[in-house]
A and B are shown apart, each in its own frame.
Chain A
Amino acid sequence: MFTNEQLAQHIINQFGDTVGDFDDPYDLLTFSTSRERIVSVISYLQNDPTLQVNFLTDITAVHYPDSPGKEYCVVYHMHSFVHNFRLRIKVFLTADDLHIPTMVPLFASANWMERETFDYFGILFDGHPDLRRILNMEEMDYHPMRKEYPLEDATREDKIDALFGR
């Protein structure tokens, strides 16, 4: 078993200052890296005989419209079945350049996860074999999970938020 400090140290030893923002919210080691390094980080974690992070749990993204320079965050959750620890890896992207390499060569499961992330946020996974929308219609010309598309009609004036406790 590794503690989060040991894991972080192990990853820093390998990747130096290309990884950063180490944190462990609710006991789950989180760090961020750049999109140039993400493939080598995940491929290293997968093949490293010490860590053996052999399972890609999830890929998703988050939109932060209010933080300039890092508007989009692609989040990878990984799990080592051998040592039973989880990792969260983040890659921040700017709004005008949403390209990130695909994980499909490393994990077959990444295929649909990346399609879903593309569908929701418009993040372009370079090298993906079939980057199409998966849950929404092909004809849709926007990416609905972005924060600029609020769920309720923002033009309505008959509902005053203060009266509804918000």
Chain B
Amino acid sequence: MVSEELDITKQNLPAEQGPVQYVNELTTLNLGPTHPATHGIFQNVLQMDGEKIVSGEQTIGYIHRAFEKIAERRPFYQITTLTDRMNYCSSPINNMGWHMTVEKLLGIEVPKRAQYIRVILMELARIADHIICNGILGVDTGAFTGFLYIYQERENIYEIYEEICGARLTTNMGRIGGMERDLSPTAIRKINEFLDRFPGVLREFENLFNRNRIFMDRVVGVGGISAERALSYGFTGPNLRAAGVDYDVRVMNPYSSYQDFEFDIPVGQSGDTYDRFMVRNEEMWQSMRIIRQAMDNLPEGSYYADAPQYYLPPKQEVYKNMEALIYHFKIVMGEIDAPVGEVYHAVEGGNGELGFYLISDGGRAPYRLHFRRPCFIYYQAYPEMCKGLTLSDAIVIMSSMNVIAGELDG
């Protein structure tokens, strides 16, 4: 019961006190460099009007390691280890993209079996990459469960890598001219087990997210970008496809036998965070289709090209065979006499078109090597996508764009 003395009804308020006065003063907010939600070291200086983002500016380069400069001193094999560390969520794609660039320069034709094994591994890497992106998008919207469920599968993909080459993150399974070794029976068993188990996990993940009210409220209509702007900003990969452009390097410029496989390119419509999430989800299904086809039709034959002057011989041979020892020494010491040439080769990385622009002057190392890193090119659209939205929207936009700091800084 309201007493007479404490009458706080509207009539007693001063007449001039209407809605809160608009104060035209912006707040500067540093999102990053080391914020858990940036998933990497890069800074976003946001100008906030209350809760709304008015403008933003990114500062990158915190982990710049001068890969292009280092590559000018390294033999072609040793550059593989630089590519690992760009998009470290899907290192096999980077590795094999680089090996294919060198093969193109040297004119090596890789046997079908090696190409199919590469396709299998690259698609596994793409699934791992999308698992990370979508799982973490879940975490950033407050859904930890889906992340925990699906991260187990990334672990299983890493076990497949481990079975093939012994390493998990910085893989070393490709060689110039093919693969380091054939798929072992254990690796084949593990891949098949993965293919049998993963659809159930992914279905469960989808059930947790796709029509989840809370999740949809956070992501639908957030951070949309039109197809024209996305093209102008140089978007590729899932981010471009979410905006409705069906550009996929695997289809437009097939490499490594991608023309043999049947798969669809999922596209979105509005380019918002939900579309990016859904495109990545659907791509995991398509990747599984590709792996299944490649596993079923795995051709017989050699897993490396007949190019002893470029293909690193197996270690067992090196111990026993003089020729292998000589070639091993020559390759490791960078005595490959590469032809003079200029190559641009692109692969569909986890984030889009990953290009290698290689100029060789015939020396042991590239004269100039430039990485077209998809992250670096599209991240500049981030302030435009956040404009007029709130800070919590900015977090999910960044996480759904899949900005990988290693790839961003090069």
B252 at the interface (CB under 8 A from A): yes
Whole-angstrom distance between the Cβ of A149 and the nearest chain B Cβ: 8
Distance A112 CA – B384 CA, assembled complex (angstroms): 14
Contact with A along B239-261 (1 / 0, CB 8 A): 00000010100001100000000
Check B61–A112 contact: CB distance below 8 A: no
Find residues 101-126 in chain A having any chain B CB closer than 8 Å to their own CB: 107-109, 111-113, 116, 120
By the criterion CB–CB under 8 Å, are A75 and B64 in contact?
no
* Interface status of A165 (Cβ within 8 A of chain B): yes
| Cβ–Cβ contact A86 & B344, under 8 A | yes
**A111, B353: Cα distance in complex, Å:** 18
A137 to B60, CA, bound (A): 10
Contacts known (A25-B343, A26-B342, A151-B70); A165 close to B368, Cβ less than 8 A? no
Shortest distance from the beta carbon of A107 to any chain B beta carbon, whole Å: 6
Chain B residues, CB < 8 A from A150:
73
- CB-CB under 8 A from A28, the residues of chain B are 344
From known contacts A112-B376, A135-B409, infer whether A145 and B231 are also in contact, taking CB-CB under 8 Å.
Answer: no
Q: Which of B136-144, B158-166, B333-341 contacts A (4 or more CB under 8 A)?
A: B333-341
A74 CB to closest chain B CB (Å) equals 12
For the complex formed, measure the closest distance between the CB of A6 and the CB atoms of chain B, giving whole angstroms. Answer: 19
Stretch at the interface among A10-18, A37-45, A53-61, A91-99: A53-61
- Interface pair A84/B234, CB less than 8 Å apart: no
- Is B326 at the interface (CB under 8 A from chain A)? no
B148 at the interface (CB under 8 A from A): no
Residues 67-82 of A at the B interface (beta carbon under 8 Å): 75, 77, 81
Q: Please pick, from A58, A81, A116, A164, the residue contacting B355 in the complex, using a CB distance under 8 A.
A: A58
User: Are the CB atoms of B343 and A151 closer together than 8 Å?
Assistant: no
Residues of B within 8 A of A7 (CB): none
In the complex formed, the residue of B with least CB distance to A151 is B73
Please give, as numbers and ranges, the residues of chain B lying within 8 Å of A26 by CB-CB distance: 104-105, 341-344
Number of A residues, CB within 8 Å of B: 38
When distances are taken between beta carbons in the complex, the residues of chain B under 8 Å from A136 are: 61, 64
Residue of A nearest to B376 (CB): A112
Are B380 and A112 in contact, CB atoms less than 8 angstroms apart? yes
Nearest chain A CB to B285's CB is how many angstroms away?
Answer: 24
For chain B, give the interface size range: 35 or more
A32 part of interface (Cβ distance < 8 Å): no
* Assembled-state Cα–Cα distance A56/B231 (Å): 8
B247 x A81 contact (CB < 8 A): yes
Does residue A62 face the partner (Cβ distance < 8 Å to B)?
yes
Interface members, chain B 355-380 (any A CB < 8 Å)? 355, 357, 359, 364, 367-368, 370, 372, 376-380
A151 to B369, CA, bound (A): 14
Known: A25-B341, A109-B233. A151 touches B377 (CB 8 A): no
Q: How far is the CB of A47 from chain B (nearest CB, A)?
A: 13
**1/0 per residue B43-81: CB within 8 Å of A?**
000000000000000001100101011101100000000
For the complex, what is the distance from the CA of A136 to the CA of B68, rounded to whole Å? 13
CA distance A135 to B60 in the complex (A): 6
A37 to B341 CA separation, bound complex (whole angstroms): 26
CB contacts under 8 Å to A, within B191-205, are none
- Bound CA–CA A81/B245 (angstroms): 10
Residues of chain B within 8 A (CB-CB) of A108 are: 229, 232-234, 380-381
The answer to whether B342 and A77 touch across the interface, beta carbons within 8 angstroms, is no
How many angstroms from the CA of A24 to the CA of B234 in the assembled complex?
A: 24
Which residues of chain A come closer than 8 Å to B357, judged between CB atoms? 58, 60, 75, 77
B22-34 vs A: 1/0 string, CB under 8 Å? Answer: 0000000000000
What B residues does A107 contact at CB under 8 A?
A: 232, 234
Chain A residues with Cβ below 8 Å from B376 are: 112, 116
CB–CB B344/A77 < 8 A: yes
A21 within 8 A of B: no
Asked if B368 and A62 sit within 8 Å, CB to CB, the answer is yes
Contact B370 A58 (CB under 8 A): yes
Tell me if B135 is interfacial: C-beta within 8 Å of chain A. no
Bound CA span A55–B64, Å: 26
How far, in whole Å, are A81 and B231 apart by their CA atoms in the complex? 10
A35 within 8 A of B: no
Interface pair B364/A166, CB less than 8 Å apart: yes
A144 touches B355 (CB 8 A): no
A88 at interface (Cβ–Cβ under 8 A)? yes
Contact A88:B245 (CB < 8 A) given known A109-B234, A111-B380: no
Say whether B410 faces chain A, with CB atoms less than 8 Å apart. Answer: yes
What are 22 A-to-B residue pairs whose CB atoms are below 8 Å? Answer: A25-B343, A26-B343, A26-B344, A56-B234, A57-B234, A57-B372, A58-B372, A62-B367, A62-B368, A77-B344, A77-B372, A84-B252, A88-B344, A107-B232, A111-B380, A112-B376, A112-B380, A116-B376, A135-B409, A144-B69, A151-B73, A166-B364
Question: 4 other contacts beyond A30-B342, A112-B377, with CB at 8 A cut-off?
Answer: A25-B341, A62-B367, A81-B247, A108-B233
List chain B positions with a Cβ less than 8 A from chain A. Answer: 60-61, 64, 66, 68-70, 72-73, 104-105, 229, 231-234, 245, 247, 252-253, 333-335, 341-344, 346, 353, 355, 357, 359, 364, 367-368, 370, 372, 376-381, 409-410
Closest 10 A/B residue pairs (Cβ)? A109-B234, A165-B333, A135-B61, A135-B64, A108-B232, A60-B370, A58-B372, A151-B73, A112-B380, A25-B342
